[in-house]
Structure 1
């Protein structure tokens, strides 16, 4: 949304964190529904396989592309005076709207795969959500350490990929800018 030097910017941590809650809870729900079906392997095997998949997915999602995030953060430039900082709620809504069909497919697959291995795929989806949350927490620690928060142009972030190939750089502001705390969490009202 560039108009005459103005850029619309979304918080990097908020874009990363946007998928954490829906993926986690849809995964937990589909795993719980999947436990109602005994499946071919049995519930015990399904839960053990699901626990392993949860840990593996959480670790992979949390660790993937860290080097790219760090490289963009190191080369980030200061946000301009007329840059528009997108609200946290708008970023979350845009991500969820763009990914709603993928979330539905993941939920349905989590239930359908329970015929073979109960709860396993649902727990893997929940692990992906937990991994996104861990990545956002890591970005928050980086932001606190640097004393800045990182922003990406909304047209570059596209459908929720703040470190994708189309990204050409990050912008920075002070930690007080925007309505989200470092790491993308909702900023608590000060008393």
Structure 2
């Protein structure tokens, strides 16, 4: 039996960083959106390029704001009630969390990309800019979580098994509570970015 399996058998849980889960979709959505917008703008579409790009800019702003603000009250409530992680809890590496999220959402990302390309037939670049706005909003939300983590001097974690339910939402109905650690725990900085300096042991 591995060390991780032993820890879980003793009552520990696999934990993933909340901010890393939120941030995991930012880059794929951004790059899918940029590529779809770039391809879409090559054709005039039904509305013409100018109207399509202007509509896309408006959708980008709305999507970024909606994605970045959605669920903040829920994140705040779960963060305030977070219990301290136990010594047998297993902290998941940042790369594993990102890879798991993207693998689980790969078909949704593909469908969103194809839908953005299809929307270019009507309004060039609009669908792609909408996707890019969602990616920007997720990065904004992760940065907001990072500021909270720094202010509270605690990182927020969510049980991995709860992420496997209902689409892997870190603040969804399946998530009952968060756990917290000091800011030196794990291999990701506050906000979910790669830690520039090694974590303290």
Task: Give TM-score scaled by structure 2 length.
Answer: 0.92
Q: Matches of 1:20 and 1:87 in 2, distance apart?
A: 18
Distance in 2 (alpha carbons) for counterparts of 1:6 and 1:55: 42
Superposed, 1:38-57 pairs within 5 Å as 38-57=44-63
Unaligned runs of 5+ in 1: none
SS in structure 2 opposite 1:115? coil
- Per the alignment, residue 63 of structure 1 pairs with 69
* Residues 121-136 of structure 1 mapped to structure 2, 5 A cutoff: 121-136=127-142
CA RMSD, Structure 1 to Structure 2 (Å): 1.1
| 2:172 maps to 1:164 | yes
Partner of 1:183: 191
What's the secondary structure of 2:157's corresponding residue?
A: strand
d(CA) in 1 for partners of 2:44 and 2:168?
36
Distance 2:56 2:80 in 1: 37
Question: How many residues are paired up?
Answer: 190
Q: TM-score, normalised by structure 1?
A: 0.97
Unmatched 5+ stretches in structure 2: none
- Return the offset for 1:43: 0.3
1:94-147 CA deviation, whole Å, 9 max, x = no partner? 000000011111111111110001010110000000000000000000000000
- After superposing on structure 2, the runs of 4+ consecutive aligned residues of structure 1 that deviate more than 4 Å are none
Partner of 2:94: 88
